[in-house]
Structure 1
Amino acid sequence: MSTLTIERLVVGYGDGAPVLDGLDLEVPDGGVVALLGANGAGKTTLLRALLGLVPVRGGRVLLDAADLTGLPTEDRARRGLALVPEGRSVVAELSVAENLRLGALWGHTGAARDAAVGQMYELFEPLARRRDAAGHTLSGGERQMLALARALVARPAVLLLDEPSLGLAPLVVAQLLGVLRDQAEATGLTVLLAEQNVTGALSVADRGVVLSLGEVVADRPAAALAADPALRHAYLGF
């Protein structure tokens, strides 16, 4: 289990105004936090900054009190951070099995790697049936399953997801979100889930955090946030 702590984070692009300006957030170990907000709220920028993909102008990113702020992306990955970006990112030319073995290179060797890949086939049965299929032949739902499985197979401490339900059928979304909830409970995986599917995200989250113009405007238990019509109407559009 690992706690992700964000302290006074300032992030921007080029010489422009900050996208995130002094953001504070804690994602507790073994918990699922839904990161909510309209387009442009800063959700993707935050996830990218946590992996070192966007320069940080100020503040700190801590994983179990270890400061990751100045580390390159690959070192943050070795420390246990994993990102599933928007867009179902898989290696299109490789098969399902090859994509999973590639993900398992982090922290696994030999029999342990095979066991980790086998666990992903148990979690995502459609991938087991298509293990020899190339990534570009998969359906949108299968590609998102593969992107999630490739991140999980490395057994990260903290999993960051950017809009995993985008464009997917409700049944597939329910399966993916259910896997996240189950993994958090079974393995202590810490999850920060950026979503515009507010209802689905809050249904599996312990807490909901609402961003607006790069600032946290609400941080509440998921059930309480879902039950607050004024906040939903003001910031979440329903």
Structure 2
Amino acid sequence: MTAVLEVEALHAGYGPVPVLRDVAFTVPAGTVAAVLGANGAGKTTLLRTLSGLLRPTGGRIRYAGEDLRGVRVEHLVRRGLAHVPEGRGVVTELTVAENLRLGGLWRRDRADARRARDEVYEIFPALARRRDHLGHQLSGGERQMLALGRALIARPRLLLLDEPSLGLAPTVAAQIMALLRRLRDEQGLTVLLVEQNVRTALSVADQGIVMSLGRVVTAAPAARLRDDDRLRHAYLGF
């Protein structure tokens, strides 16, 4: 299976403070990979580095066979890499419809951008009903739907998703996870998912990447991680 994302000996941090140390893993096309670990393990820093928000201090990131060193964030988006950060990232002063339009501003195929917006409304009927509401008028679950929908309008090949279920009701979180499964199965979307709820993450993921103190402890099929009592107790908390 072709790898969409290949990370080799990646190092990154903030100023003189190192966070990621010699991180390496691959994510095959059309799969969901869950990045797991305790708070402070480096999961969010990893996504910020992969999406170009944080410059690595060493190592290599290859996306769809291309080296991403020196590639600007807006160019990554045009190449099909989308990042939904923790905290939703919705522009609260804009309406739902205006937030969604932001996701397709750079796209040359305006007709397909409109089709993509219609698809988001079909996926998330709550957004269709509230398309004229401002971002600050939405619930936490609706904001998460909006942030994810805006990313999907770009027709990404690789989606980086940071803590999508944080603060959400269990039913809404389950809806988000079911959507990721569907997008993987029906559209071949590749997802790198950071999720604090380990059980939820492993229920949707094809593989798990376990991190501790900025390093990858293991990368293995999700089913194997669920069955490995030693690893679960040591690093995953259940």
TM-score range, shorter chain: over 0.9
CA distance in 2, matches of 1:75, 1:221: 31
Which consecutive residues of structure 2, in runs of 5 or more, have no partner in the other structure? Answer: none
> Which amino acid in the other structure matches residue 14 of structure 1?
G
* 1:84–1:160 CA contact under 8 A, matched in 2: yes
Query: 2:177 and 2:88 mapped to 1: Cα distance?
Result: 15
Task: Please give the secondary structure, in 1, of the residue aligned with 2:121.
Answer: helix
Call closer, same or farther: CA 1:46–1:162 in 2, change over 3 Å. Answer: same
Q: In the aligned structure 2, how far is the partner of 1:96 from the partner of 1:198?
A: 30
Aligned position for 2:128: 128
Which residue is equivalent to 1:205?
Answer: 205
| Structure 2: distance between partners of 1:106 and 1:85 | 20
| Structure 1 residue ranges without an equivalent (≥5) | none
> What amino acid maps onto 1:72 in structure 2?
R
Q: Paired residue for 1:218?
A: 218
Deviation at 1:108, TM superposition (A): 4.8
How far apart, CA to CA, are the structure 1 residues paired with 2:141 and 2:126? 10
* 1:46 maps onto 2:46 in alignment: yes
User: What is the match of residue 161 of structure 1?
Assistant: 161
Q: Deviations over 1:15-70 (max 9, x none)?
A: 12x21111111111010000000000010000000111112111111112110122
Contact 1:34 1:193 in 2 (8 A): yes
Stretch deviating more after TM superposition (101-110 or 48-57): 101-110
**Alignment partner, residue 192 of structure 1:** 192
- Letter matched to residue 19 of structure 1: V
Match of 2:15 in 1: 14
Letter in 2 for 1:222: A
Kept after mapping to 1: 8 A contact 2:3/2:26:
no
Computed over aligned residues only, the root mean square deviation of the Cα atoms, in angstroms, reads 1.2
* Distance in 1, Cα, partners of 2:87 & 2:70: 27
SS in 1 for 2:57: strand
Query: 1:111 & 1:2 partners in 2: Cα distance?
Result: 30
Q: Distance in 2 between matches of 1:117 and 1:15?
A: 42
Cα offset, 1:12, TM superposition: 1.4
1:2 CA drift (Å): 6.5
Task: Normalising by structure 1, report the TM-score.
Answer: 0.96
Per the alignment, residue 25 of structure 2 pairs with 25
Normalising by structure 2, what TM-score?
0.96
Residues in 2 aligned to 1:101 and 1:77: alpha-carbon distance in whole angstroms: 15
SS of the equivalent of 1:12 reads: strand
Of the structure 1 ranges 195-204 and 2-11, higher mean CA displacement relative to structure 2 is found in 2-11
Residue 3 of structure 1 pairs with residue 29 of structure 2: no
Query: One-letter code of the match for 2:8?
Result: E
Structure 2 letter corresponding to 1:229: D
Answer yes or no: is the 8 Å Cα contact 1:7–1:61 preserved in 2: yes
C-alpha distance in 2, partners of 1:220/1:110? 40
User: Could you tell me which residue of structure 1 aligns to residue 62 of structure 2?
Assistant: 62
